[in-house]
Amino acid sequence: MADKIKDAKIIFVVGGPGSGKGTQCEKVVAKYGYTHLSSGDLLRAEVASGSERGKTLQAIMQKGELVPLDTVLDMIKDAMIAKADVSKGFLIDGYPREVKQGEEFEKKIGAPSLLLYIDAKPETMVKRLVKRGETSGRADDNEETIKKRLDLYYKATEPVIAFYSGRGIVRKVRLESPLTGCSQEIRREGMFVMKEMS
């Protein structure tokens, strides 16, 4: 089964909470047909299933903490295998959250060809998440948990960007302006991503 994904094209999408990872992934999917897999979405689907494992995950996510590495990596791997036959490549959104996650992914699945780093100012991220919380229904879109997620991002996830920068595969996208006002930057980055995807 794992053979199905051993040569898969992989792009990691990393950025702070509310930086716009999911939003940008949808744009790339619409344009280039890659498969978008968000680790957070996979975890929330498990929570929604009502399983015992989902209950444990919910408690961790509600506190803004990271779930165990093996749990999230197994979920991503299974989702990749399920889509392998119809996928041109994978956008892995929200993973790795720490350097160790990247190392384990490479051991068990493969190396990324690109890391798309979605950058945003902390005050922008907080504002977006508070706004999203008005309608998202996400248990972690509240001010207390947002602060914890942001602190954890700077402590655990920022080193991931430095780690992959050393390999020369990081592309940074900063989108502070409203979505309608940033088409030029998306186009420029999109062309680069397209080259990587071909």
Ligand X SMILES: Nc1ncnc2c1ncn2[C@H]1C[C@H](O)[C@@H](COP(=O)(O)OP(=O)(O)OP(=O)(O)O)O1
Ligand Y SMILES: Nc1ncnc2c1ncn2[C@H]1C[C@H](O)[C@@H](COP(=O)(O)O)O1
Within residues 157-176, the interface with ligand X by CB under 6 A covers 175
Contact 47, 57 (CB under 8 A): yes
DSSP string for 168-198: T-EEEEE--S-GGG-HHHHHHHHHHHHHHH-
Q: Which tokens is 30 given?
A: 């619409």
Which partner in Mg ion, ligand X, ligand Y, none is near 23 (CB below 5 to 8 A by kind)?
ligand X
Can you count the helices (H) and strands (E) in the chain? 9, 5
Binders of ligand X in range 34-73 (CB under 6 A): 40
Q: Residue 67 binds what, of ligand Y, Mg ion, ligand X, none (CB under 5 to 8 Å, by partner type)?
A: ligand Y
> Using the rule CB under 6 A, is 39 a contact of ligand Y?
yes
Binding ligand X (rule: CB under 6 A), the pick from 5, 11, 14, 19 is 19
Nearer to ligand Y, 125 or 180 (CB): 125
Residues 6+ apart with CB under 8 A from 62: 139, 140, 145
Q: Is 149 annotated as a binding residue?
A: yes
> Which spans of this chain sit near ligand Y (rule: CB under 6 A)?
17, 38-40, 43, 61, 64, 66-67, 72, 94-95, 97, 101, 140, 149
